Amino acid sequence: MKSYFVEGCDSKELYQKLIRYMIAYSDSFSLTYFRHNRIERLKRTAKRIKEKLEPYKLYAKETTHLPSMETLNYNSHIYELTVYRASAEVVSVLEELDSLWQWDYPCYPMDLCFFKSGLAWFISSAHEEYAILYTDDPGVINDLRDLGLKFSGVREAGEDELYRDTQKS
C-alpha cells in the first residue's frame, strides 16, 4: 500500500470537493473528541457537531490509539474516537468548517479521517496540518488531482503504520 502526503487542504473550495469525494467513496469516517479531564465539557461548537452527527454514529470508544496518532497519554487525557457512517446527509455538517485544519481542539472535534473496508485510507492531523492518503489505486490519485489536490512524499507504507478499524462498519 502506498502512502501519499496530501497538499492543498486549506482552501474552502478544495476542502468541500475533498469532503464530497471522500464521503462518496468511504464507508465511514471518524472524529476525535478531546478533553483534558472528565470535568471539562466540550465547547459549544464541538457539541453542536456531535449532536448533528449523532444519527450517523456507528460507535465511540475511549482510546489512545487513533488513526492519526498514538499517544502515551501521561496526563490521562480523554480521546473519544467516534466513527460515523459515511452518508450524503453528513456532507453539509462537515462542510460547515472552512478547511481540513479547523478540525482541532478546543472548538471542534479533532482529526477527520475516512475509512474504506475497515482501513483508514485518509487520515488528518489538524494541529500538525498534515493529511495522508493510503491507496494503491492510481484512479483515486487521478480523481483527487483533478479536484486540485497535490501529493508529495509517495512511499510504500508498512503494515504497522496502517490503522484498521477492528469494529468495521
Which pLDDT score, from 0 to 100, does residue 169 have? 44
Q: Are 5 and 153 in contact (CB under 8 A)?
A: yes
User: Which bin fits 20, alpha (ψ -120 to 50), beta or left (φ > 0)?
Assistant: alpha
How many Å apart are CA 116 and CA 49, to the nearest integer?
22
pLDDT, tens only, 16-75: 999 999 999 999 999 999 988 888 888 999 999 999 999 999 999 999 888 888 887 777
Give this prediction's pTM.
Answer: 0.94
Which pLDDT score, from 0 to 100, does residue 47 have? 95
Q: In which element (H, E) is residue 4 found?
A: strand 2-7
Which pLDDT score, from 0 to 100, does residue 64 have? 85
User: Structural domain boundaries of the chain?
Assistant: 2-161
Q: Are 113 and 29 in contact (CB under 8 A)?
A: yes
pLDDT of 167 over the 80 cut: no
Per-residue DSSP letter, 158: P
pLDDT, tens only, 97-125: 999 999 999 999 999 999 999 999 999 99
- For residue 127, CA distances in Å to 101, 104, 108, 159, 168 come to 7, 6, 12, 25, 27
Looking at every residue in the chain, the average pLDDT score rounds to 93
Which pLDDT score, from 0 to 100, does residue 168 have? 55
Mean pLDDT on 134-160: 95
